[in-house]
Amino acid sequence: MAELKFDIVHHIGVLSEGNKGWKREINLVSWNERTPKIDIRDWDENHAKMSKGITMTFEEFIDLKDILETIDMADIRSKIE
């Protein structure tokens, strides 16, 4: 299997941190020297190991932001708790 190349072009933010030091982050990542995409996944402290995650284009990221702005968070929370 070919080696996976990645470059974290820009760190956007940390969503959470696990008890083993891994952090769920939102980053702009270039995979295999391609155009960078928005990426959400867990990373170890050195950004050497990662979990499975989700990548999206900038347009999809904008759509996600728009959807989140329309959601009634209290309604969603009531369905979870």
Q: What is the pLDDT of residues 27-57, one digit of tens each?
A: 999 999 999 999 999 999 999 999 999 999 9
| Structural contact between residues 61 and 38, judged by C-beta atoms closer than 8 angstroms | yes
State how far the Cα of 73 lies from the Cα of 81, in Å rounded to an integer. 12
pLDDT band at 14 (very low <50, low <70, confident <90, very high): very high
- How far is Cα 40 from Cα 10, in angstroms, rounded to an integer? 12
What six digits make up the tokens of 79?
Answer: 């369905």
Hey, what CATH class is 6-80 in? mainly beta
Helix or strand (DSSP H, E) at 60: helix 58-70
Q: The pTM is what?
A: 0.87
Give the number of other Cβ atoms within 10 Å of residue 24's Cβ. Answer: 16
